[in-house]
Chain A
Amino acid sequence: MIKELTKGDISIFVVALGFVLSLYVIFWSTGGDARHAHVNVVGKKQVILDLKEEISIKVEGVLGVSIIEVKDGKVRFVESPCSNKVCIRSGWLSQVNSLAACLPNGVSLYLVGSKARFDSINF
């Protein structure tokens, strides 16, 4: 069985394996420590928090007030008027592309790295 394989087969297999492994590295590696947190509230302007600061903000959402806390480069939901508390259970977030959201209250939190990406919607 093995002796029927050619050098070309082996190299194709090695290249394919490398390709698959590189996909894991590209898509599954964390983007490093985040610098900013985008706070989005339904129907309101986006608020950008600097994670270097130590701050606690109150956000008025659809149901009521959510409290978001920033400390030591991390950010979390402290309080939210929703019933499931999924956002609070997301805990402290510090990595780029991390996400926490309180859907009932319409508040979401998205972490970005050093380069803040803008698109036409932001302007």
Chain B
Amino acid sequence: MVYPVKRQLRLTATNEDYRVAKLAALAIGIHVLEAALPSPLPGIKPGLANIVTLIVFALYGIRFASWVSLLRVFVGSLIIGTFLSPTFVLSLSGAVASVLVLWVYSQWRLKSLSVFGLAILMSIAHMSAQLIMVYWLFIPHEALFVLSPVFMTAALVFGVFNGFIAVKVTSRLNQHAYPTSS
């Protein structure tokens, strides 16, 4: 008689995993706190959690940044209770667009931008992706884009705001403010 060999799957967390978890926890905390802030218009949010993504990118590179960003979206939505809702879809598409910007930047190996310029690019990409998703999935009418100047102005303002915070934090962390593509 042959007994099946009991296979054990061992999961060991590496130091990198712990680091991603800690940084993602920080981003999730900010994400949840921000969800409690009142907004003058649905869809307009400071996006403070993206600062964490940006700083992680500047310090540890694109791989860490995408992990932190996507974990933030998934776990944050589970905590707030919007998982798989339209809010979640928009949150995810915005995060993916921001990470794509960072990825393109890291592939090009440009050194002429600091986190400030990246913050603006990220927030514009974030908002564009969300507008396109809203048009594609929820409100397929051209009149939606009449609102785009309002949304894009908010994206630019908060992009600049977040960019200044990111510059401040990265220089305070005693790192150079120029992200390296490691």
Please say whether chains A and B are actual partners in one complex. Answer: yes
A4–B117 CB distance below 8 A: no
Task: Give the size category of A's interface with B.
Answer: 10 to 19
- Stretch in B23-31, B51-59, B72-80, B151-159 with 4+ CB within 8 Å of A: B151-159
Task: Give the size category of B's interface with A.
Answer: 20 to 34
- Picked from B124, B146, B149, B167, the residue with its CB within 8 Å of the CB of A5 is B167
**How does the 8 Å CB contact mask read for B38-68 relative to A, with 1 for contact and 0 for none?**
0000000000000000000000000000000
Chain B nearest CB, measured from A91 CB (Å): 20
Known A-B contacts A12-B121, A27-B145; A20 and B153 likewise in contact (beta carbons under 8 Å) = yes
In the complex, B171 has a CB within 8 A of chain A: yes
Residues of B within 8 A of A5 (CB): 114, 116-117, 167
B156–A16 CB distance below 8 A: yes
B149–A12 CB distance below 8 A: no
B114–A4 CB distance below 8 A: yes
In the complex, B164 has a CB within 8 A of chain A: yes
- Picked from A6, A16, A20, the residue with its CB within 8 Å of the CB of B113 is A6
A20–B149 CB distance below 8 A: yes
Residues of A within 8 A of B156 (CB): 16-17, 20
Other A-B pairs, 17, CB within 8 Å; known A1-B167, A16-B124, A23-B149: A4-B114, A4-B167, A6-B114, A6-B117, A8-B117, A9-B113, A9-B117, A9-B120, A13-B116, A13-B120, A13-B160, A16-B159, A17-B156, A23-B152, A24-B149, A27-B149, A28-B149
Residues of chain A whose beta carbon lies under 8 Å from any beta carbon of chain B: 1, 4-9, 12-13, 16-17, 19-20, 23-24, 27-28
